[in-house]
Amino acid sequence: MAIEVYIDAFPPAEMAHRMEEVGVQKTQLDTMAMFTLAILAGAFIGTGAIFATVVSTGLTDVGMGYGLVKLLTGMAFCLGLVAVVVAGAELFTGNNLIIMAFASGKVSFAALLRNWGLVYVGNFAGSMLTALIMILTRQYMSAGGAVGANALAIANGKCSLDFVQAIALGIMCNALVCLAVWLCFSARSTTDKILAIMLPISAFVASGFEHSVANMYFIPVGLLIKSTAGSGFWEAIGKTAADFGYLTWGAFFVKNLLPVTIGNILGGIGCVGMVYWFIYLRPRKIAEPDSLPSVRAAEGSPGLAGTSLK
């Protein structure tokens, strides 16, 4: 018995239908499964953030250029989305693409909001748990406190953004994240998925765009270092907590997480989800015979005589 093996990628039209079907499946998950998978996604993205923080620590001190540092940081961060896609987890930003199933009438607005709400809270829980565990590891003391200093600088910078700026950075970020997820629907193998993820995710990190779920780790871990680190840490890095004045819980929620989440939704829906829905899934008018007499009149005639668009 012959076995057919396909190595070509799924075409965009087929990708759209696959995304639509997956959107329906995601909204039909039971509450505990959905929430647990969302916690996993928060932890996976947090792990990618840990990797990116460590990789980017000290590179400029050895003369590496800004762009190359950002590229390596972005490649390390890809671990998070690779784990989400390949291992299976529910990520709020990627789930913005469920809008395609909603636009087709296959998912209700209530089901859409249920998924987004549960997944967002679960992502936050997974990210916070990861940050708490990392504080207990005292990994921030590594390299003479340089890892912790880098984590603080990242978090402080994110909390210094203007509200509108954070929205714009969030839009650009999730346009690339959802593009990565969209490209994965062309894949036939795990290798295909990983390669599809690498460039868009590396691009968003290298460009300094803002991802709400990543920031659920990056900023809390900085806040926890700032509030719990002992004097030995501050002496090692030659700074004090006052040097990271933008970094507060209020700034985290109001100046970063809120506007970045708004931007992520706009970017995921407007730049990817609804664009591909409009191209491949929107209802189309179909040419049909107008009436029996017109069909008879068309007999023996070439072309599309006797048809009309209804």
The type of residue at 76 is: A
| Residue 204 banded pLDDT, cuts 50, 70, 90 | very high
| Residue 6 banded pLDDT, cuts 50, 70, 90 | low
Q: Has residue 310 got a pLDDT over 70? A: no
What are the structure tokens assigned to 135, written together? 């504080």
pLDDT at 272: 98
Q: Has residue 181 got a pLDDT over 70? A: yes
What's the structural domain count of the chain? 1
203 CB neighbour count, 10 Å cutoff = 18
Q: pTM score, two decimals?
A: 0.89
Q: Does 32 map to a domain?
A: yes
Domain that holds residue 159: 12-309
The type of residue at 273 is: G
Percentage of the chain lying above the pLDDT 90 cut:
86
Nearest-5° Cα angle at 309, 303 to 310: 150
Percentage of the chain lying above the pLDDT 70 cut:
90
Q: Does 207 map to a domain?
A: yes
- 185: CB partners within 8 A, 6+ apart: 10, 15, 18, 19, 22
Can you tell me the mean pLDDT for 96-113? Answer: 98
Yes or no: say if 169 and 265 are a contact pair by the CB < 8 Å rule: no
Q: Does 96 map to a domain?
A: yes
Can you tell me the mean pLDDT for 199-210? Answer: 98
Q: Which residues are registered as beta bridge partners of 309? A: 287
pLDDT at 17: 97
Supply the DSSP symbol for 248: -
Measured CA to CA, the distance from residue 94 to residue 181 in angstroms comes to 6
Q: Does 2 map to a domain?
A: no
pLDDT at 4: 61
pLDDT at 63: 79
Q: Does 211 map to a domain?
A: yes
pLDDT at 60: 75
Q: Does 3 map to a domain?
A: no
Measured CA to CA, the distance from residue 241 to residue 146 in angstroms comes to 15
Q: pLDDT tens digits for 36-78?
A: 999 999 999 999 999 999 999 998 777 789 999 999 999 999 9
Q: pLDDT tens digits for 261-307?
A: 999 999 999 999 999 999 999 998 765 555 445 444 444 444 433 33
Give the CATH number, domain containing residue 183. 1.20.1080.10
Handedness of CA 148, 151, 153, 155 (dihedral sign): negative
Measured CA to CA, the distance from residue 24 to residue 106 in angstroms comes to 7
Q: Which of 285, 271, 281 is nearest to 100 (CA)?
A: 281
pLDDT at 62: 75
Q: Which of 140, 131, 149, 154 is nearest to 241 (CA)?
A: 149
pLDDT at 67: 93
Q: Does 4 map to a domain?
A: no
Measured CA to CA, the distance from residue 86 to residue 83 in angstroms comes to 5
pLDDT at 284: 84
- 43: CB partners within 8 A, 6+ apart: 126, 127, 129, 130
Q: Has residue 137 got a pLDDT over 50? A: yes
Q: Does 1 map to a domain?
A: no
Cα-based distances in Å from 8 to 183, 188, 297: 13, 8, 45
